[in-house]
Amino acid sequence: MKQLIIATHNKNKLNEIKALLDPLGIQCLSLDDINWVDEIEEIGKTFFENAMIKAKTVAKQTGIPTLGDDSGLLVDAFPGLLGVRSKRFSKEATHDANNALLLQMMEDIENRSARFMSDVVLYFPDDSYKEYIGTVEGAIARDYMGENGFGYDPVFIIKETGKRMAELTQKEKNQISHRGRALHKLIEDIQNETIVI
């Protein structure tokens, strides 16, 4: 079976990616699966830079193709405030604290437009790579809803459906989410043999 390392310790993210790539006969290994203990500093100023840092670092050390992803929330009312700092938005840097701070800051704001963006980099040990970008438009709600997902999913209303991201099943989310959309472009390339893992 073909192997691909997913440069993450995040089990939610790993499960999302595995659900899409497993049917292609690709074994997805997390950093935990390969006993990776070194910290990879995400010092990039863009999603692409951080995805590249993760994918390249792991692929070069392991000799196995590696997928790095950096994703986040972009809020029109606060340009430049979240983005690559989405995970570390609040001082506690937890999902609950991040959501609470965002809702508090947006309490009196009318323009609630926002989007999730994902930049996925597939890096090969020969120093070649492919980049895939996915976005989903929406708005920031005024409360929490939904039991699924993670991060900002309970406060993000998807423009196309009017549902919260956290209301979707794993399968539904993989079809519509920013990461899902980026990965579907990757899957097309694998199926068309534009890239070979």
Extract the tokens encoding 56. Answer: 């390249």
Would you state the pLDDT for residue 42? 87
**Helix 178-191 vs helix 11-21: angle between axes, to the nearest 10 degrees?**
30
> Which runs of consecutive H residues, i.e. helices, occur in the chain?
11-21, 47-62, 95-105, 170-176, 178-191
- Residue 96 DSSP SS3: helix
Residue 148 located in a structural domain: yes
Residue 197 located in a structural domain: no
Would you state the pLDDT for residue 150? 87
Residue 179 located in a structural domain: yes
Residue 185 located in a structural domain: yes
Residue 196 located in a structural domain: no
Residue 21 located in a structural domain: yes
pTM for this predicted structure = 0.90
Active site residue 70: yes
Domain of 46: which CATH number?
3.90.950.10
**pLDDT of the chain along its 197 residues, tens only?**
799 999 999 888 898 899 899 999 999 999 999 999 888 988 999 999 999 999 999 999 999 999 999 999 999 999 989 999 999 999 999 999 999 999 999 999 999 999 999 999 999 999 999 999 999 999 999 999 999 988 999 999 999 999 999 999 988 988 899 999 999 999 999 999 888 88
Residue-range definition of the domain harbouring residue 173? 2-191
Total count of domains within the chain: 1
CA-to-CA distance for 140 and 114, rounded, in angstroms? 6
Q: Which of 70, 76, 96, 189 is catalytic?
A: 70
CA-to-CA distance for 196 and 47, rounded, in angstroms? 24
